[in-house]
Amino acid sequence: MLLTEKNTSERFIKPFNSNLSPNQQLLPLSATINGQNHLEIGGCDVVELTEKFGTSLYIVDEQTLRISARQYRDAFKQFYEGESQVIYASKAWCCMAIASILASEGIGFDVVSGGELYTTTKALEMSDLGTEKIQNKIYLHGNNKSVAELELAIDSQCKIMVDNWLELETLARLSAAKQTPVSILVRLTPGIECHTHEYIRTGSIDSKFGFDANQLDAVFTFLKEQPFLNCIGLHAHIGSQIFELQPHNDLAAVLADWYKKALDYGLPMEELNVGGGLGIRYTESDDPPSIEEWVQTVCKAVTIACQDRDIPLPKLISEPGRSLVGSSTVTAYTVGGRKVIPNVRTYISVDGGMSDNPRPITYQSLYEVVIANKMTCANVETVTIAGKHCESGDILVKNIDLPQTKPGDILVVLSTGAYNYSMASNYNRLARPAAVLVNEGEANLIIRRETYEDLVKQDLLPSRLV
């Protein structure tokens, strides 16, 4: 097949259907091609969005985000007979607008720092939801929580995932000093391997997270003696961007064994947190399970594990992050210069890169790309998309087939809602991009573009240098 005969970006577009699992789509569910041959998301022309808000630009489809949340929430209600709660792994992208949307859909929050906890509660205070409605839906994670973070969590009345002995002993001291009961879950390392990048594999024995199984008896014994620590559950997480379902069956069995043992110790167990980890589609060849398939597998596995051990169904907690937000968002860039190395490679440069999407250089992550102003044009060349940073490794996508591009075209990288803005930096003193929320033809700025003044506002000059 000649390059000019290959399919164009039209193949990524599907008629809107709220039953489609967003994590299996490359574009947001609302994506269409309008009469100008432009990509349209949430009823907004992407080219016009870039003219108004500039590039690089994160574009978030509110409809896709809400449908993802509803599919998780409704699937747990359908497939699990006990109580359940979906909590968003905020590290995927923590900002007030996303927190407010998800809270309005009944989603809770997994936060991993004082900053994420503050952002989430601030969003709820500014909305009409109110923190009191979701205080029991916020869980603080982290393998090295500071005393200040633990105190903030206690004062916020959120639940705390205890990761190690120092944290456990510190919480015992703080709760006693405050005379305040604290609800905790113990995180354990289940020893389960998944086929995913080694940096995002967290369930294996060799992991920085959680107590090893051989420590749990001592942990349970310690907890029995603590008057202000209420151990209400267990937690484990086996990794991220997982396409397999079998490891979740294995996890349920491991967690149920230790849950039963904790009950035998007399601990007030009532919750079982199975983490998250469902992958999303980044490339055409990716084939992740749907949200419903993942939830059904988890619910069935936990139910069978509890029945086999004759223990009551606990409240089932899950922590999707990437699969909630990843496919809701694209990143738009403006095409700049071109470098052609005959018989080797053609580089196309864009006005962003590793500072707004560090995943390719960090995890060797792959993406699909479209040209927003040439959606039905045939692919006629193979190019490599280069970022603008002073790093040879600042490559967003290697060897991808695209229509002929020219400076000023709008290049869009798909599925960038997870770990793009949240890992963004000011490397080379680039200002971080703006983010815009689109829905039914309306576009609202949710994160302002940083300015040069923002880049220096934390800098200080000693008086002797002035």
Q: Which residues are catalytic?
A: 390
The Cβ of residue 456 has, within 10 Å, a number of other Cβ atoms equal to 10
Residue 389 CA to residue 205 CA, distance in Å, equals 37
* Burial grade of 88 (CB within 10 A; 0-12, 13-18, 19 or more): buried
Cα 227 to Cα 145, 179, 244, 270, 283, distances in angstroms:
22, 9, 41, 18, 52
Residue 255 CA to residue 236 CA, distance in Å, equals 8
The single-letter code of the amino acid at 270 is E
Residue 426 CA to residue 404 CA, distance in Å, equals 31
Residue 211 CA to residue 186 CA, distance in Å, equals 8
CB 71 within 8 A of CB 22: yes
Residue 134 CA to residue 429 CA, distance in Å, equals 38
CB-facing half-sphere around the CA of 262: CA atoms within 13 A: 30
